[in-house]
Amino acid sequence: MPTGDRTVSVLGLGLMGSARVAGSVLDACEASRVIVICLLHHEAVHSLMRSPEIESVLAGKVVNQLSTGSPADARGMSAWLQACGAASFDGAILGAPSMIGGDQAKVLVSGPRVLFDQHLGLFQALTRDPAFCRDEIGRAAALDHAALELSAGCSVVHLHAMARCEAESVPLEELVGLVTPFRQGFVERVTNVVGTGEVPSGNASVHTWLAWAETLIWVSDDAGVSATLPRALHEHLHRTVELGQGDKDFPVVYGTFRPVPSLSACS
pLDDT tens over the chain, length 267 residues: 344 556 889 998 665 556 678 889 999 999 999 999 998 888 899 999 999 999 999 999 999 999 989 999 999 999 999 999 999 999 999 888 888 888 888 999 999 999 999 999 989 988 889 999 999 999 999 999 988 888 888 888 888 888 888 888 888 888 877 766 566 677 788 888 888 888 888 788 999 999 999 988 988 888 788 888 889 999 999 999 999 999 999 999 998 988 765 444 444
Would you say how long the chain is, in residues?
A: 267
Contact 59, 84 (CB under 8 A): yes
Residues 8-136, CATH architecture: 3-Layer(aba) Sandwich (3.40)
CATH code for the part of the protein at 142-258:
1.10.1040.10
What is the reported pTM?
0.73
DSSP character string of 118-150: HTHHHHHTT-SSPEE--S-TTHHHHHHHHHHHH
Residues of the chain with CATH 1.10.1040.10: 142-258
88 touches 58 (CB < 8 A): no
Which segments of the chain belong to CATH 3.40.50.720? 8-136
